[in-house]
Amino acid sequence: MATVKFDEATRIYPGNETPSVDRLDLDIEDGEFLVVVGPSGCGKSTALRMLAGLEPCNSGGIFIGDREVTHVAPKDRDIAMVFQNYALYPHMTVRDNMGFALKISRVDKAEIDKRVEEAARILDLEPYLDRKPKAMSGGQRQRVAMGRAIVRKPQVFLMDEPLSNLDAKLRVQTRTQIAKLQRDLGVTTVYVTHDQTEAMTMGDRIAVLREGLLMQVGTPRDLFDQPANTFVAGFIGSPAMNLITAPVQDGRVLLGGKRVALPQAAAAELAAAGATEVVVGVRPEDLVVGPPSDQSFPITVSIVESLGADAYVYATVELADGTSKEVVARTDGRVPPRIGERLEVHAADRHIHLFDATTTQRLHYE
């Protein structure tokens, strides 16, 4: 097992001027499960391939443990990679697939058999060792790909969207198995996904990338409760956080035709900066329907999605410039509001997020 370090690692593909990964600085602890997440094209898979040695660094460096591996061949980095398409040999049995890397490394056959049997037991694959991949389900094939990585006993596991080919129910089941397996083995793991739900439920920490740049790294709770900027705020959480740009004056913002009071410390910070606008962020579950107050504003219901115990209300709020903005609120599904109904809502206590309208960075008021 080992730590992993990206030291201003940069990758620019030939013919491109913009880096796909731009000066990535990231430290991963020994035994940590780090999830790298972001939208398509953000550079997350490129970063993983750089760590694997499948993509070169144009500048900066990569370290595994105390050893710099920036220019070390992939086979000499002591890593094992799990791909989204399984990459199994169709003509080989599960046993042969799992032990193939050891075989070409000239590991003793008795040792190969021992490691394969051990991995099969961990992954509940013992009944399938003599089957070929075509006779197995997608979830079973993914476990075989995991087993092939486990038998190598690498310092680092790399996983590139390993669940993307599975159906929704199987994804939930398999991500739980992967998270438990990683904790049992204690191997440093870097896991790439575009699915923020996977990131929130699996990772010890999450690194959010956007256009090759690291936006924020922290625990799932850190990113949910204290997003560093509007991008992270809108990306982490489902449904996404409501983000509304509104004029600010005398410690109040104009929303729905009302002047809504801001937290005192936030109002003081905005006044000191001379800000005339602020981005107000409230998660759907923190947007509470209640009586009018100096912290509430009106919304008009457009659509109601009933989910049983809960309902998501899609509504519009009037902005100062005369336009409107869609917001989402979670309400009691047993007594949902009617379409066209006008509701008064406010942010739950201490659950309002404020961002600089120019820089998009979080305001760190107390």
List the CATH number of the domain containing 40: 3.40.50.300
The end-to-end CA distance of the chain, in Å, is 40
22 and 109 together in one domain:
yes
Percent of the chain with pLDDT over 70: 99
Placement of tokens 């087993």 in the chain: 147
On whether both 121 and 181 belong to a single domain, the answer is yes
Instruction: Let me know if residue 366 belongs to a domain.
Output: no
- Residue 139's pLDDT is 86
Question: Is position 250 within any domain?
Answer: yes
Q: What is the CATH number of the domain that holds 283?
A: 2.40.50.140
Between residues 212 and 321, the one the model is more confident about: 212
Domain that holds residue 261: 242-356
Average pLDDT estimate for 223-235:
96
CA distance 366 to 363: 9
If asked whether residues 186 and 79 sit together in one domain, one would say: yes
Higher pLDDT, 266 or 241: 241
Residue 169: the pLDDT is: 84
Is 297 in the same domain as 209? no
52-71 pLDDT, tens per residue?
Answer: 999 999 999 999 999 999 99
Looking at the structure of the chain, the number of domains it has is 2
pLDDT digit string, tens, across residues 308-361: 889 999 999 999 888 999 999 999 988 889 999 999 999 987 789 999 999 999
- Same domain assignment for residues 198 and 148: yes
224 and 257 co-located in one domain: no
Q: Is the pLDDT of residue 366 over 90?
A: no
Asked if residue 84 and residue 212 are part of one domain, the reply reads: yes
Same domain, 75 and 203: yes
Q: Do 193 and 252 sit in the same domain of this protein? A: no
Q: What is the pLDDT of residue 86?
A: 80
Share the mean pLDDT of the chain.
92
Last residue of a domain, one of 179, 205, 235: 235
Task: Show which of 201, 235, 269 is a domain's final residue.
Answer: 235
Task: Note the pLDDT tens digit of each residue in 251-290.
Answer: 899 988 889 888 888 888 888 888 899 999 999 999 999 9
pLDDT at 164: 85
Angle at 99 between CA 97 and CA 103, to 5 degrees: 115
Q: Where among 190, 211, 235 does a domain terminate? A: 235
Q: Are residues 225 and 347 in the same domain?
A: no
Kindly state whether residue 362 falls inside one of the protein's structural domains.
no
Q: Is 225 in the same domain as 257?
A: no
Domain presence at residue 157: yes
Does residue 365 form part of some domain?
A: no
365 pLDDT above the threshold of 70: no
Tell me the two tokens of residue 310. 């809960």
Is residue 336 included in any domain, yes or no? Answer: yes
pLDDT tens readout for residues 117-131:
999 998 889 999 999
The 10s digit of each residue's pLDDT in 157-172 is 999 998 888 888 888 8
| Cα dihedral 135→138→141→147 (10° resolution) | -150
> Within a domain: residue 364?
no
Instruction: Let me know if residue 363 belongs to a domain.
Output: no
> What sign for the dihedral angle of Cα 284, 286, 292, 297?
negative
Does residue 205 sit in the same domain as residue 336? no
Strand residue runs (E) in the chain = 4-11, 21-28, 33-37, 59-64, 67-68, 79-82, 156-160, 188-193, 205-210, 213-218, 242-249, 252-255, 258-261, 277-282, 287-289, 296-306, 310-318, 324-332, 342-347, 353-356
| Reported pTM | 0.90
All residues at 6 or more sequence positions from 355 whose CB lies less than 8 Å from its CB, including other chains: 229, 230, 233, 243, 278, 279, 281, 361, 362, 363
